[in-house]
Amino acid sequence: MRGAVLYGPRDVRFERRDDPKILKPTDAIIRMSATCVCGSDLWDYRGINKVTQPTPIGHEYCGIVEEVGRAVTKIKPGQFVIGSFFASDNTCSNCQAGYYSSCQHREFVGGAQADWLRVPLADGTLVATREAPSAELIPSLLTLSDVMGTGWFAADAANVKPGNTVAVVGDGAVGLLGVLSARQMGAGRIIAMSRHESRQKLAREFGATDIVTQRGDEGVARIKELTKGIGADAVLECVGTQESMMQAIRSTRAGGYIGYVGVPHGVALDGQELFFAHVHLHGGPAPARRYLPHLIDLVWSGKIIPGKVFDLTLPLEDVAEGYRAMDERRAIKTLLRP
């Protein structure tokens, strides 16, 4: 098969790779219908996360089951499936508590920017749709593998309730889908923080009521101004930098909630400031598997169309251009078609 391999900073190549095989009886092999580039892939692409050897890349996927191991009983060949970026058994105590990305037997599902993919722990990880989806639904279903599930977790962790004022820090795909999630959960006011016109437009379409272009202390001051000096009830931190985390904490009202899903890079918290902020802080790798059944229903019924976050579609063989476009902020998120 063919797939994307990251060799080093800004060096993605599309080349021949070994076909995946069933390695464990709990595995499944899927033929990819669509995959994409994730914002978190850019940490590796830019060299912020060190890559020491050629590494297959990509972790968002959906497709048709081609083969299953002998211990797989729920997932069948021919089904259209979506799975999380962490494989999970769906039976351990952490999974039962809803934290599938902390499964006691979890495995990272990598190398998904390819024609085929081996998915471990298939019965616990994959969720089948009731029938084969239309081509129009596939981009939205693909988002459920990570980016929509992560945006939903950000809103869920921030305890978004009907009528809440919500602020979203970050205008990448996760932040934009955090806006969509907050709107679906009934937020009364959604403040999207963005400096980019195309992203502001999509944020408005997804449900943002206000746009704040300032960052850092100026951004905090603007949110306080919009909320009569109080701060937001819920804040979604969708970037992972020191500035974005502090902006989130300082924009939250006393007693409010922060859902943080940006993968932290260089983030350090001042214990005394956090102590007196009186905020709830919850986040981590999104347990996307928890939300898959509900989000599939929302997509299937047309209540949400998260696939709109893809503003560039390329054949899989042009994956390097997909990375360049996102790195240069010419694209919000790149969809790749095998």
**pLDDT tens column, 214-243:** 999 999 999 999 999 999 999 999 999 999
SS3 320: helix
**pLDDT tens column, 3-48:** 999 999 999 999 999 999 999 999 999 999 999 999 999 999 999 9
- Give the pair of three-digit tokens for residue 209: 């009521």
CB atoms within 10 A of CB 15: 11
pLDDT at 65: 98
For range 332-338, the mean pLDDT: 97
For range 320-331, the mean pLDDT: 97
pLDDT at 295: 98
- Give the pair of three-digit tokens for residue 82: 């979506």
Question: What is the percent of the chain with per-residue pLDDT over 70, rounded to a whole number?
Answer: 100
pLDDT at 181: 98
Residue 184 CA to residue 316 CA, distance in Å, equals 32
Angle in degrees, 0-180, between the axes of helices 197-206 and 173-184, rounded to the nearest 10: 20
**pLDDT tens column, 78-90:** 999 999 999 999 9
Residue pair 158/169 in contact (Cβ under 8 Å)? The answer is no
pLDDT at 288: 97
Residue 195 CA to residue 211 CA, distance in Å, equals 9
pLDDT band at 54 (very low <50, low <70, confident <90, very high): very high
Residue 14 CA to residue 127 CA, distance in Å, equals 28
pLDDT at 109: 98
Q: Which residue has the tokens 């560039």?
A: 312
- Give the pair of three-digit tokens for residue 309: 């976050």
**pLDDT tens column, 156-166:** 999 999 999 99
**pLDDT tens column, 190-209:** 999 999 999 999 999 999 99
Residue pair 191/168 in contact (Cβ under 8 Å)? The answer is yes
Encode 147-179: b = buried (16+ Cβ within 10 Å), e = exposed: bbbbbbbbbbbbbbeeebbbbbbbbbbbbbbbb
Mean residue pLDDT across the chain: 97
For range 141-163, the mean pLDDT: 98
